Structure 1
Amino acid sequence: MPNYAFRKIYPFVKYQKLIAVSLIIGFLAALLAVSLKKMTDHYEEVLSGQSQGNVLFIILFPFFGLSLIYILRQYLFKKKENKGIKEVFESTATGKGLPSYKIPSHFINGLITVSFGGSTGIEVSTVVSSAAIGSLAQEKEKFFKRYKTELICAGITAGITALFCTPFAGLLFAYEVVSKKAGKIFLLTNILAAAIAYGFILLIGEKPLFALNITQWHLRAAPWFAVLGVLCGINAVYLTKCVMFFKKQFLKIASNYYRILAGAAAISAMIFILPQLYGDGYHAIRENLLTANTITLTLPLAIVFFGILLLKPVITSITLSAGGDGGVFAPSIFIGAFLGLFVAVLLNTYFDAGVIPINFMVIGMAAMLSAGIHAPFTALFLICGLVGDYTLFLPVLIVCLISKYTAKAIYPYTVYSLSTNAK
């Protein structure tokens, strides 16, 4: 073929290949995300039910889970520790792709961590596994290497889309947190990956995790929404500081055996005190969403709220520091839900404010996530997708911005950015 003819058809061939690989990445990442979510939901529910009222299981489950992850890492996953989303940043910043074993590594370790009581979530496990699918695709043909970041982001976009039933959250997370730029190839690959992932979850009838029917919100609650945003910003910084503090402390423990033992003992003790801290905590959020609008604050309930807000960052940090897989997605959503509920019930009980607690739970989830990862638009669409309702779109948007900039004013880093930017 003459050179001029090849140059003429090259753009068509290029886009044809990118379209095909984006659709494949989107489907595989969505299949992975849904499979991990379904399996984790099932086994977490079964094992957390077994642990209720049985101190032996509360003691054994975290120790077994952390030990199993360590054994798998030593004998199956090349003795390489999972570093969470930092692995994605390192891959996009360098010429190296994510190794293919990161797909089963994060899938299996995320499943084990949450199912056996580790107080984190599968979101970051899904992100890294999905990113590895995109990375693997770009290694299959030399032409794709120049679009490595775009294909990695396509996997992430599809994974988040499938987890939270909203393509907007997937696209925005890939842009706000990972890529931070959106050229035409990014838009092409990621929109296609999001579309195929969203089509897949519609086909299988996947429902929002916290499906709600929110009918209204009151303008008079706006000042309290702003207060909640500030409180979420403060709590997000506390979570970030906890994660970094406990990681530093656990690194001082030379023996992996003692690290696992110390981590498991701490996790078991906190779950024994507050069973709501088991796993990702989504089961506890669901239960409280059902009764949120009828709760009256009592002293025992206030102690539970304080305990959750104080201990959730600690148990999450210890889970990650002791070898568990995951990140701050689920913990942020969990803390935000209970902080929002606490604020609303406090206002209604002692100030007769007449606010709607369920609204505060939803806004708290979004605001805490926004402050925790400095991605307000991701948090906005992700939580609206999570509840399957956009009635609170405007207040959620405003409070997400308040919480993000409150957190940044106190401390400019997130768990994701600190390890690469902080000195």
Structure 2
Amino acid sequence: MVLAIGVGAGAGLGSIAFRWLIKTFTRLLSGHADYAAAGGSANPHVPWLGPAFVVIAPVVGGLLYGPLVDRFAKEARGHGVPEVMLAVAQRGGRINPQVSVVKALASALCIGSGGSVGREGPIVQIGSALGSTLGRVVKVSEDRMRLLVACGAAGGIAATFNAPLAGVFFAMELILGTFSAEAFGATVLASVTASVIGRAAFGNTAFLVLPPFHVEHLAQYGLFALLGVVAGVVGVGFTRVLYWIEDACDWAWRGPEWLRPAAGGLLLGLILLVLPQMYGVGYPVLEKATQGGYVIAFLLLLLVGKVVATSLTIGIGGSGGVFAPSLFIGAMLGAAYGAVAGHLIPGTAGNAGAYALVGMGAVFAGASRAPITAVVILFELTGQYTIILPLMLAIVLATATSRLLSRDTVYTLKLRRRGIDLHASAPHAALGSQTVETVMEAVPVQLPADADLETAADLLTRSDHGVLPVLDDRGRYVGMLTARAVAEALTDAFDARPPRASALAQPAPALTADAPLSTALHTLVTASGSGLPVLDPGKEHLVGWLTHQGALRALHPAAPAPAAATT
């Protein structure tokens, strides 16, 4: 709890510093607090250049952050969230400590010089790096390290968007990929702490000012459902274009990597000259779209422009997130969709702004396949309960459409392109249709639930696994008793009767004998200890034990496998 609060406080302070850096570099390089709202004005620092200064600004920014990233933290390039997901899934939550500083400077320079990316990816990586660094300092276990990384991500999202619930679900849905009471409690503490600090600095208001929302006719639900399907397609399309342009940049560039952002910044500058609304994150443009400030043709132009500008920013080696661009794209899509519907069925469609709000969440869900986060963050941004039903409908359909069209999300595709699959077995592994039962080992020595500490300590000293499964009087699996739990209990002074094994048993991830081995491997890799208990299909009785060695034997069938034992 103390560590979670500490990480949340660090993420909140980091968010304040990061937003100050963005504002400072934006004023320095554009002469405005947010140039997207300035609409092609000149830079007062160099008025003789007129609006053409936007061609030079990305080049200058690239010359500053390109060498910084290339020299000190190459993982700070890009949108950041995939690197955090990889660290949690396969690296025990270990993140290079200097990433937080490099990412903050590089992303602030990129956004301030016109990079059309968001600030949520950087703050997630910054907060996660802080959590990982704190975990290393106090030398926590890998499980705790992963949880601290998730706390940093939750705190970063909460403080940046003033959305504490969204921070919690973002961390559990995307970073941890699992839901548990422990993870929920820790991320809530971090998120609340970061939100309190963020609100002290920025006030208790959402980062966007959005119009009131209400459903006027039941027939609108059909329109929202169709919008969800379209948004799912657009979300997948955004993901594909993002990596197509990155591939094109990789193919075209032959110079040193530190110079790539500056050289590519010239192309980005030409886009900004034509569409200055693409400069930076673009929240003022998004707000104006939800309020009906643009015609349909210009909304579609802004949609396409954002897809291209964000993809080019990432492709040339820029640093920033894709969360805010997906919200921007969704708002343009929804506003255009609502305007068209208003022309076709004016008495039924209702306000186009409502479709812009729903489109924001639906496109993000289509790109990330994080429906809970999408629902919660839009609810927190608007503070209106009336948004929930149409928002849930559109987001679920967008997520389902995205899943039908693509195996990967905007976050996982980056890793798969590098040969990393967070949820599958090792590449080229000959796992076939094997189940856990075919490779599990014999059950370790079992401990009755009413066993005393002396008996447990004696059996643990002879155990090869450092843990003992605990069974109740009917032979049903209760949990695992670790050597650490027994050692701590033996050093405590008891006023009454010492605890029994059942009181010290801890729940642990358990597999079933009929589970596919390819699925079980992910659970095995992310779990601490020397193996996992294997239960019968009814999940009551212990029938075996899956170890890392047993899993390796499945990858090398020539090695003899031990006979499985059952109880």
Q: State the TM-score, normalized to the length of structure 1.
A: 0.87
Report if the CA contact (8 A) 2:84-2:128 is conserved: yes
Deviations 1:286-328 (A, max 9, x none): 2333445xx6xxxxx3332232222321111110111111121
Q: Which amino acid letter does the alignment assign opposite residue 350 of structure 2? A: V
Any residues of structure 2 matched to 1:20-419 within 5 Å, and which? 20-41=2-23, 43-44=25-26, 45-46=32-33, 48=35, 49=38, 52-53=41-42, 54-75=50-71, 77=72, 82-83=77-78, 84-92=80-88, 93-95=90-92, 97-204=94-201, 205-212=203-210, 214=212, 216-218=214-216, 219-252=218-251, 253-255=253-255, 256=257, 259-292=260-293, 301-352=295-346, 353-419=348-414
Amino acid at match of 1:20: V
Q: Is the helix fraction higher in 1 or 2?
A: 1
Conserved 8 A contact 1:51-1:57: no
In 2: Cα distance, 1:114 partner to 1:78 partner = 18
Residues 80/153 of structure 1: CA separation in 2 closer, same or farther (3 Å cut): closer
Cα separation, partners in 2 of 1:184 and 1:349, compared to 1, 3 Å: closer
Q: CA separation in 2, counterparts of 1:224 and 1:50?
A: 32
Instruction: Say which is worse superposed, 378-387 or 131-140, in terms of deviation.
Output: 378-387
Identity %: 25
CA contact (8 A) 1:340 1:357 kept: yes
Deviation at 1:342, TM superposition (A): 0.5
2: CA distance between counterparts of 1:22 and 1:96?
15
| 2:211 and 2:353 in contact (8 A); partners too | no
Cα distance between partner residues in 1 of 2:385 and 2:53: 40
Judging changes above 3 Å, is the alpha-carbon distance between structure 1 residues 196 and 400 closer, same or farther for their aligned structure 2 residues? same
Superposed displacement of residue 263, structure 1:
2.1
Residue 282 of structure 1 and its aligned partner are, at CA, apart by 0.7
SS at match of 2:152: helix
Structure number with the bigger relative contact order (C-alpha 8 A, sep ≥ 6) is 1
Greater Rg by CA? 2
What SS does the aligned partner of 1:209 have? Answer: coil
Check the 8 A contact 2:234/2:363 in 1, yes or no.
yes
Answer yes or no: is the 8 Å Cα contact 2:281–2:325 preserved in 1: yes
Task: Quickly say closer, same or farther: Cα 1:191–1:273, change in 2 above 3 A.
Answer: same
Question: Does the Cα contact within 8 Å between 1:62 and 1:264 map onto a contact in 2?
Answer: yes
- Structure 1 residue runs of 5 or longer lacking an equivalent are 1-18, 296-300
Whichever residue aligns with residue 33 of structure 2, its letter is: V
Return the alpha-carbon distance in structure 2 between the equivalents of residues 281 and 387 of structure 1: 18
Aligned in 2, Cα 1:286/1:42: closer, same or farther, shift over 3 Å?
farther
Q: CA offsets, 1:33-72, max 9 Å, x none? A: 2332354356544362495252331111111112211122
Question: Bigger CA drift: 139-148 or 243-252?
Answer: 139-148
CA deviations 1:197-219 (Å, max 9, x no partner) are: 23333444241012345252122
Displaced runs of 4 or more, over 4 A: 78-81
Q: Deviations over 1:107-141 (max 9, x none)?
A: 11111111111111111000000000110111012
Distance in 1 (CA, whole Å) between partners of 2:237 and 2:77 is 23
Quick check: 2:76–2:102 contact (8 Å CA) kept in 1? Answer: no
Q: How many residues align?
A: 397
- Higher strand content, 1 or 2: 2
Q: What amino acid sits opposite 2:319 in the alignment?
A: D
Residue deviations 1:248-292 (CA, integer Å, cap 9, x gap): 122221214773355223212222222221111112112333445
User: Residues 163-217 of structure 1: CA distance to partner in whole angstroms, max 9, x if unpaired?
Assistant: 1222211111111111112334322321211221233334442410123452521
CA distance in 2, matches of 1:154, 1:362: 28
Rounded Cα–Cα distance in structure 2 between residues aligned with 1:81 and 1:31:
19
3-state secondary structure, aligned to 2:385: coil
For 1:200 and 1:290, locate their aligned partners in 2 and report how far apart those are by CA, in whole Å. Answer: 30
What CA RMSD, in Å, does the superposition of the two structures yield over aligned residues? 2.2
- Contact conserved, 1:212 with 1:389, CA < 8 A, in 2? no
User: Any gaps of 5 or more consecutive residues in structure 2?
Assistant: 27-31, 43-49, 420-567
The TM-score with structure 2 as length reference comes to 0.66
8 Å contact 1:110–1:326 — kept in the other structure?
yes
For the Cα contact (< 8 Å) 1:250–1:259, is it kept in 2?
no
- State the one-letter code of the partner of 2:94: G
